[in-house]
Structure 1
Amino acid sequence: MSATSKYPTTDDPAPAYLSKATPDELARMVVGLTEELWVLRDRVMVLEQVLTETGSLKPESVDEHTPGTDLNERLHRERQRLIQRVLGAPLSVER
């Protein structure tokens, strides 16, 4: 893609690895990512429950927590890394 274009156009098409993907293949990719997301959400919910049951965590602690500067910066870096890796993948393919 050109430096000014962020999305595929007729002059600047999608990266080759997406151009031949079938709807079924793309659907399998989305289902696979959704499965992985559920595993993570499930584990976080279980961890919160176990920590609450053992008295290590108050039920509202996670929802009410305000990250400090260090954690906030780390969360921002990791969020940006994930966005770039997942959503930026089609934009960073060499032609």
Structure 2
Amino acid sequence: MTMPGFAADDPVYLDRSEHLDGVFNALMEVASELWVLRDRFTVLEELLAERGSVTRQDLDLFQPGPELSARLAADRRAFLERIMEAAAAAGGPR
């Protein structure tokens, strides 16, 4: 199977900057989806610890308090910083 837009006999996929831009955009989409899962999982853990059982509606309606909101915001910042630092390092020195 070949990737659309690439020749089967030419395995170089990232030889132009627009290809790297596309990979970075895809990375950010995956990171965004991963963060949604991590956020929801954290809420699930909180509710399970608090209530012992959880419904989908409990998850959907949950509003985190100030402490959990601050923790999620700090975790999100750290997550994005790691991604951006890795992406910047992959680009080499400027």
Q: TM-score scaled to structure 1, two decimals?
A: 0.40
- Greater fraction of residues in helix: 2
Higher RCO structure, 1 or 2 (CA under 8 Å, sep 6+): 1
